[in-house]
Structure 1
Amino acid sequence: MSFFNDVSGWLPIPGGAFPRSMALPVIVGAVDEGERNIKAPRALVFSSALTAIATAAQGSIDVCKPNGQVVPASLMLLTVANSGERKSTAENVFLRGVRRFQDEMDVIYQKELSDWIARQSIWENRRKAILKKTLLLDNKEGDEACKQFMDHEARVPVKPRRFKLLYEDATSEALFLGLHQNIPTAGLISSEGGGVLTGRAFNDLSKQNALWSGDVITVDRVSSESYEVRARLTVSLMVQENSFFSYMQKHGERSRGSGLWARFLVCNPKSTQGTRLIAGGDTPWNCCERFSERI
């Protein structure tokens, strides 16, 4: 989907009916069930499913294109939908498996972090004792103490990496640092994406474009050590029309010129408000739960 500029601002050009027939039973079953139960536009529901798939898969696989180029499986998705379209509900349903696994890994991380803090404290106290002893000795005894000190320096405890997969209200600096210090794969995901667009998450478009392409980015810092990031990043934003119009009026030419929107899958689905009929009986979530387990 592309954009045109009219008197009201940048608008996505409407597309046709969203497809329903695909030979992907786990995905299609979950999308069908989500659309039926949430009663949100199908394109919005499918975008939520793609977000979960890309976030979960991008750290494990790359894609080899017909020309031999190897690229990430990451996606960038934009859904323009107003309040009441159940953006948060759809996102929560399809990211349930991701969040559940992240919570499980966070429990393990807290235990590992506690152990690391204890080992780090012991290591630092031993370091001080060895260093003090080294400074008091001379000649051969001093050389042996120096070697002992160097051996101790090489055995510094390694801080565990946190399994932080989802980012929302993060600046670009915090996002890149998180990808460096934690696991090098993440999703910048928000069902209220207006805050992301107008915040500082999108203030370094060239680096985010480079991550999408699978390139290594260098983050130079004055007050601390610079670092390189080789990571995978999926971006999924669901924004209201007014927030999107405001962003495009202020930054539209810059974001398009940088190639940002050329990388996005965009949808602006027709509202389902006023057509949501309530049916009797239980609401099954079997297909969505199977999808979450697969994720």
Structure 2
Amino acid sequence: MSGASISVRDFVMRFGDRNVVDGLSFDIAPGETFGLLGSNGSGKTTTIRALLGITTPTAGTLTIDGHPYKPATGGIGYLPEERGLYRKESVIDVMTYFGRLRGLRGPEATAWSMDYLARVGLADRAKLRVDKLSGGQQQKVQLGITIMDRPRLLILDEPTKGLDPVNRRLLLDLVDERKADGATVILVTHHMDEVERLCDRILLLKDGTAAAYGTIPDVQDAFGGAVARVGLDGPVPPSPLYRMARHEGHVACLVPTPAATADGSDILASLVSAGVHVTAFEMRRIPLDEIFVQVYGHDALAAESGVAA
């Protein structure tokens, strides 16, 4: 299977007197897994809705395989952040119904659904009404509906929202399989570990514009490439060798300046000579969550990272 290609050019979306998205351009290659990241209100969902023709852009073009999307085109699986299932019907009836809407024959949709439910630990819930399932169980059902017909383009808006670590891993394995099958995947998430595991390239949105765009190593390089994670007691003195990215409790993250050595040995020596009691020191590639903090602030990361039971 060949995945779909995406092109967004000079996209503007204006609500009232404010541009929610302002001159955004990016491309997604066929078969690529692309992370669309940002804090609440950064323009992620607005971009997805415009790409799918749910809303009309104020300016610019958004195309899938060279053309604006039309529902009759098919080949797209979209899992929105706002979930929606027929809550009074049984799980298997709902899945079979949506499978038929997506072009499968009834028996084929039912058989696929039962296999899927067994895989995600819900086979014994197949005949229960949807409203008898927990939020996480409903999430599994909705993802199954989204991937049932092996779409060429899979758009997942917070697919693991509210799931525990075990079920998060299970659903990410399913997404991995679609990726291996050649599908193009757009992943909207605030879980940086999901991004690092799945995504070929990422786009960080802030106030409707691109704060960073490229492969993960490219984005890391744009934000200094490396970071010194220091365990210490007391304040961090200023130095031309680094700038403070974050200092919480007994851990500081320092971004080296061009004056510092690659291994950070001079940073460590500078701290020690300044009388800082250093309990741990590690140089590593700057993690995506640290970049998120630099772009949006620590409060934004904390607000985005809440996990429901």
Q: TM-score range by the shorter chain?
A: 0.3 to 0.5
Query: Is the strand fraction higher in 1 or 2?
Result: 2
Query: Is the helix fraction higher in 1 or 2?
Result: 1
Q: Which has the higher contact order (CA 8 A, sep 6+)?
A: 1
TM-score, normalised by the number of residues in structure 2: 0.31
TM-score, normalised by the number of residues in structure 1: 0.32
